[in-house]
Amino acid sequence: MTDLVNIVPTLIAQHRTLEDDLGQANAGIDNEVKIDESLKKFTQDLHEHLTLENDVFYVELLKKMKDRGQDTTQTEVFIDEMEKIAQTITAFLEKFNSAENIKEKISEFKVEFGNIIEALKMRIEAEEAGVYLYWE
């Protein structure tokens, strides 16, 4: 069973790991092998994070809010928006899933990678300043 008491600190720690993973990929921006290695770690860490967040945190948050008699409409819209960001990031990771793909499309990769970093930052900021605060 997931530790619900410490779920928000766990999710925030995972955010820092994801940011670090992308930082490692960015640091190796001229080496497609290093980028690929960093993105593979990011993919694994992202999967772990999204599983905890989507399958446990959001489910329990909505349950808590409903138990308190709160309207969950806006929170559900927010969760849907976060899912769209996750889908965008996942599509990017599938598109650039090897050092060869990255090397062949390095100019395209660099543009899209910048967009992915911004999308992830936006999602993290929105969660940490928004729904994570609703937990308590």
**pTM of this prediction?**
0.92
User: Biggest alpha carbon distance in the chain?
Assistant: 53
pLDDT at 123: 92
pLDDT at 3: 81
**Percent of all residues in the chain with a pLDDT value above 90, rounded to a whole number:** 90
* For the chain, domain boundaries: 7-134
Question: pLDDT tens digits for 11-26?
Answer: 999 999 999 999 999 9
Rounded Cα distance, 17 and 77, in Å: 26
8 A C-beta contact, residue 91 and residue 132: no
Question: pLDDT tens digits for 22-69?
Answer: 999 999 888 999 999 999 999 999 999 999 999 999 999 999 999 999
